[in-house]
């Protein structure tokens, strides 16, 4: 069976010292996981991974797998040639026509001669390959600093040639930085928050608080879609859907109106902590950004923090909305997030919410609500959906 | 909703209360559709025998419907639906010297969406208020100007069922016409009126009206346009000059045949059905009021529509009803996704936004009976009791 060969650059992992092997092992595992059920072999040589992927795998699937796997800074389809100048030139002649190279534009040749026993110098190889390029594209210019196209030749155990290098996600491989529990709503922010932590190597599951019939079935479908969209970055995730209508109504009917949102956030933290701990997560991730809404002031966030012993991570806390939207668009969650199935939170949102709660007072008020039983019941009735590393829903 | 009786027979109760959005295709209409599709498949414009047969069938149906509606067949045109019928009239205005056009504030989007277009083309577009859901002839009188060319007021409002006093509004316009000696076109979107309230085009004296098949148990994609004097109207697409030049495109004969069954059935049983549905309407109104809910539909509305203020945002309440097997509507079903067209209509009637937000519409058809009405009332009571 023929293989396709991809060269993969690891970026930040290469800065790691003694743990480097662990990180690389995880990265290789993550890539292979996404390419399943197809077979792939991933080898390693001097700061590069070489993925030999079965010819049967569609290019789009490889593209999606490599572009969403965190820890990869760049990748390229590479072509092998014998370590022989004529063979290398012949291979270049073969691959250039299907690359992005064209006569209008500029190019450079980059040579990496790791194998110092190869009889030609880097300069020699570059000259030879440039003559191949100009024979195909007579009007193409040379530009060493800002080329439109680059043909790279690496001389290692074999010769490797590649043209179009794609940028990867960067960051660290998923599964190397512990596990978090993401509070996922249907909005723009929380999927981005999950993605941000995925880039730092964190795995995560997600929790959605569903208040049917105050929120619609379509809102749940939307959250499931968002979960599937961020699943590739997180190497798959589970979505815990917590039915919380009873809790919402209870807070509305028994709490202080202007504190309703805070009390709900507090109950969410309590619930999330329980689900996180039971599922091996040691942090709660939220999409809060400072002062975006009344419940996201310093005082309000400080209060909700006090509801859990777990670390609360807010990767978007210092970002403005435009930046968040830009990221949401890039990872493909934006169009889903802006679908109009918003919940009817008007029923539960106070007209004049408290923005500067006094922690000790709000804590006391929350304790007075004594919601343990309601939270217990909500957790018992929680429904779990699972998404694999390619974002496909699978049996939980 | 399906109820399994003891002897394991499934009883299907009709708990569909969204008939102002669309109705179920009647068996008669479906049969007529299939039969006509089989027997009269040829193009009515073709000159061969099969074509002539189809053409004859088309004209037979036109006469049959026109006769049931007491209008001349030459004033009746088949279109793809009320939206197209309305577009034919309003787009024709673009070929005229701009003037004033007056529409009521409670028109369906099929009408109101033409305002910005006409305005862009230099028309003076004016909205006639409908306080409490009803347009006032005196207010209309105050808006009429010598360059007024068209007045549009729907016959029955789709959100509340409010019945407009078309006869009086037309009389106001005719009186004004006599002073200025210039003709003003009176258009009335009559989608929710035909077969559902007393409705006589000749008696009302209107110049144009639109009708839809699927609101009266006919198929979708078929409707009618009434034009008292068709001469001055242009088709949206001339095509092959079908429908005497007013509506190009091969006639949808099977749908037209199904529409005939729908119209004849509704008009044929009008008197007794009107009585029957009025009784059900009264029963439901009373039950809702007993539960403390305000009725937004005026007293003398079409008996087929009730709009009421639920204790919750309408979307939530409609979901709760849906969980009990009942289909109702939060505002206007055409625009559930673009946020409250029905809500806008209610606000324009002077209803407070806190009430408009909670407004739920139920609408009936010939399938609605006492049993289903009682099931509805039971469901509403259960929701009120937190069950």
Q: In angstroms, rounded to a whole number, what is the distance separating the alpha carbons of residues B254 and A160?
A: 68
Q: Is A346–B313 a contact, with Cβ atoms under 8 angstroms apart?
A: yes
Q: What is the predicted ipTM?
A: 0.71
Q: Minimal Cα–Cα distance from B119 to chain A, Å? A: 30
Q: Where are the beta strands (DSSP E) in A145-236?
A: 149-155, 159-162, 165-167, 179-183, 203-210
Strand partners, B361: B307, B329
Q: Report the pLDDT value the prediction gives residue A273, as an integer from 0 to 100.
A: 98
> What is the pLDDT at residue B231?
86
Specify the DSSP element, H or E, that contains A329.
helix A321-331
Residue of B311, B318, B319 to mutate when probing chain A, most A C-beta within 10 A = B319
Q: Which residues of A touch B320 (CB under 8 A)?
A: 213
A212 vs B contacts (CB less than 8 Å): 319
**Is domain B2-16+270-384 classified as CATH 3.90.1150.10?**
yes
DSSP output for B231-250: GGPPPSS-TT-TGGGTS-S-
Does residue A253 sit at the B interface (CB-CB below 8 Å)?
A: no
Task: Provide DSSP, B124-190.
Answer: EEEEE--GGG---HHHHHHH--TTEEEEE--SB-TTT-PBP-HHHHHHHHHHHHHHHT---EEEEE-
Choose among B313, B337, B339: nearest Cβ to A344: B313
A17-31, B123-137, B206-220: which has the minimum mean pLDDT? A17-31
pLDDT digits (tens, 9 = 90+) for A129-158: 999 999 999 999 999 999 999 999 999 888
Contact B284, B306 (CB under 8 A): yes
- For chain B, what are the domain ranges? 2-16+270-384, 27-267
**Helix, strand, coil shares, percent, chain B, to 5:** 45, 15, 40
Q: Closest Cα of chain B to A214: distance in Å?
A: 5
The alpha carbon of B326 is separated from its chain's Cα centroid by a whole number of angstroms, namely 22
Phi, psi values for residue B152, rounded to 5°: -125, 120
End-to-end CA separation in angstroms for chain B: 18
Domains of chain A: 3-167 (3.30.2130.30), 179-394 (3.40.50.620)
Q: Name the more confident of A165 and B226.
A: B226
pLDDT(B332) > 60: no
Model confidence band, residue B354 (pLDDT cutoffs 50, 70, 90): confident
Which residues, 6+ apart, have CB-to-CB distance to A119 below 8 Å? none
SS3 B295: strand
Between CA B39 and CA B56 the distance in angstroms is: 12
All residues at 6 or more sequence positions from A319 whose CB lies less than 8 Å from its CB, including other chains? A289
Element (H, E) at B318: helix B314-323
Which residue in A has a C-alpha nearest to residue B320's C-alpha?
A: A213
Here the tokens at position A235 are 């190497």
Tell me the C-alpha distance between A37 and A61, whole Å. 12
Among A49, A102, A104, A107, residue whose Cα is nearest residue A78: A49
Average pLDDT over residues B286-309: 96
CA atoms within 13 A on the CB side of B296: 33
Round the average pLDDT of chain A to a whole number and report it: 92
Q: Which helix (H) or strand (E) holds A386?
A: strand A383-387
Taking the Cβ of residue A346 and every Cβ of chain B, the question of whether any pair is shorter than 8 Å is answered with: yes
Tell me the backbone φ, ψ of residue A318, rounded to 5 degrees: -105, 10
CATH number of B27-267: 3.40.640.10
A330-339, B2-11, B225-234: segment of lowest average pLDDT? B2-11
Which residues of chain A make contact with B357, given a CB cutoff of 8 A? Answer: 346
pLDDT reported for residue A72? 94
* Ordered mean pLDDT values, 10 residues apiece, chain A (396 residues): 84 77 91 90 83 90 94 92 93 91 92 92 94 93 93 91 90 94 94 97 96 88 96 97 94 92 95 97 96 86 95 96 96 90 65 88 94 97 97 89
- Backbone φ and ψ for A41, nearest 5 degrees, come out as -120, 135
How distant, in Å, are the alpha carbons of A99, B321, B335, B360 from that of B328? Answer: 58, 7, 14, 7
Tell me the whole-structure pTM to 2 decimals: 0.81
Mean of the per-residue pLDDT values of chain B = 92
Looking at the complex, report in whole angstroms how far the Cα of residue B285 sits from the nearest Cα belonging to chain A: 25
C-beta atoms of B315 and A216 within 8 A: yes
Active site amino acids of B: 334
Contact status of A58 with chain B (Cβ, < 8 Å): no
């Amino acid at each position: 069976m023929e293989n396709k060969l991809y060269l993969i650059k690891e970026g930040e992992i290469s800065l790691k010292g003694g743990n480097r092997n662990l990180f690389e092992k995880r990265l290789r595992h993550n890539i292979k996981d996404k390419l399943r059920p197809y077979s792939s072999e991933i080898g390693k040589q001097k700061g590069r991974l070489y993925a030999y992927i079965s010819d049967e795998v569609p290019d789009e699937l490889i593209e999606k797998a490599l572009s969403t796997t965190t820890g990869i800074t760049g990748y390229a389809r590479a072509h092998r040639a014998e370590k022989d100048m004529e063979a290398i030139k012949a291979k270049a002649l073969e691959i250039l026509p299907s690359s992005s190279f064209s006569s209008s534009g500029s190019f450079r040749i980059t040579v990496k001669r790791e194998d110092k026993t190869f009889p030609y110098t880097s300069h020699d190889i570059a000259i030879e390959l440039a003559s191949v390029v100009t024979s195909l594209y007579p009007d193409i210019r040379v530009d060493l600093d800002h080329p439109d196209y680059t043909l790279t030749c690496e001389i290692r155990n074999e010769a490797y040639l590649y043209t179009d290098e794609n940028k990867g996600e960067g960051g660290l491989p998923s599964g190397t930085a512990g596990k978090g529990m993401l509070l996922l709503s249907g909005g723009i922010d929380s999927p981005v928050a999950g993605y941000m932590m995925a880039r730092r190597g964190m795995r995560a599951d997600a929790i959605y608080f569903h208040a049917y019939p105050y929120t619609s079935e379509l809102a749940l479908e939307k959250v499931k879609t968002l979960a599937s969209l961020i699943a590739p970055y997180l190497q798959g995730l589970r979505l815990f859907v917590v039915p919380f209508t009873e809790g919402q109504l209870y807070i509305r009917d028994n709490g202080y109106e202007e504190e309703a949102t805070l009390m709900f956030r507090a109950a969410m933290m309590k619930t999330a902590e329980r689900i996180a701990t039971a599922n091996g997560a040691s942090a709660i991730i939220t999409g809060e950004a400072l002062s975006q809404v009344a419940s996201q002031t310093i005082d309000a966030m400080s209060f909700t923090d006090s509801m859990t012993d777990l670390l609360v991570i807010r990767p978007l806390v210092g970002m403005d909305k435009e930046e968040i939207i830009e990221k949401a668009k890039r990872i493909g969650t934006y169009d889903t997030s802006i679908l109009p199935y918003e919940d009817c939170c008007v029923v539960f949102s106070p007209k004049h919410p408290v923005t500067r709660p006094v922690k000790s007072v709000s804590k006391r008020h929350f304790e007075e609500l004594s919601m343990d039983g309601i939270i217990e019941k909500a957790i018992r009735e929680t429904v779990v959906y699972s998404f694999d590393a390619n974002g496909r829903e699978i049996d939980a | 909703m399906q109820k399994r009786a003891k002897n394991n027979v499934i009883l299907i109760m009709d708990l569909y209360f969204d008939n102002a959005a669309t109705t179920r295709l009647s068996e008669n209409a479906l049969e007529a559709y299939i039969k006509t599709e089989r027997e009269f498949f040829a193009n009515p414009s073709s000159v061969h025998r099969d074509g002539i047969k189809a053409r004859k069938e088309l004209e037979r149906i036109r006469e049959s419907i026109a006769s049931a509606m007491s209008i001349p067949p030459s004033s009746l045109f088949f279109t793809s639906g009320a939206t197209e019928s309305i577009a034919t009239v309003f787009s024709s205005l673009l070929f005229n010297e701009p003037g004033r056009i007056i529409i009521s504030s409670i028109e369906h989007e099929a009408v109101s969406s033409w305002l910005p277009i006409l305005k862009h083309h230099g028309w003076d577009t004016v909205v006639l208020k409908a306080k409490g859901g009803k347009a006032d002839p005196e207010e209309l009188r105050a808006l009429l100007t010598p360059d007024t060319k068209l007045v549009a007021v729907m016959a029955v409002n789709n959100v509340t069922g409010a019945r407009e006093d078309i006869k009086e509004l037309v009389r106001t316009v005719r009186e004004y016409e006599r002073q200025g000696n210039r003709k003003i076109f009176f258009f009335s979107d009559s989608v929710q009126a035909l077969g559902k309230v007393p409705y006589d085009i000749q008696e009302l004296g209107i110049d144009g009206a639109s009708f839809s098949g699927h609101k009266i148990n006919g198929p979708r994609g078929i409707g009618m346009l009434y034009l008292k004097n068709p001469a001055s109207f242009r088709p949206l697409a001339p095509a092959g000059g079908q429908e005497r030049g007013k509506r190009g495109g091969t006639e949808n004969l099977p749908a037209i045949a199904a529409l005939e069954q729908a119209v004849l059935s509704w008009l044929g049983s009008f008197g007794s059905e009107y009585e029957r549905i009025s009784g059900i309407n009264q029963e439901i109104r009373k039950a809702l009021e007993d539960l403390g809910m305000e009725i937004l539909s005026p007293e003398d509305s079409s008996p087929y529509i009730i709009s009421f203020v639920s204790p919750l945002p309408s979307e939530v309440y409609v979901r709760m009803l849906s969980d009990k097997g009942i289909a109702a509507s939060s505002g206007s079903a055409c625009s559930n996704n673009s946020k409250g067209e029905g809500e806008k209509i209610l606000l324009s009637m002077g209803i407070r936004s806190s009430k408009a937000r909670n407004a739920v519409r139920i609408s009936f058809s010939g399938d609605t009976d006492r049993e289903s009405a009682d099931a509805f009332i039971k469901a509403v009571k259960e929701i009120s009791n937190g069950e």
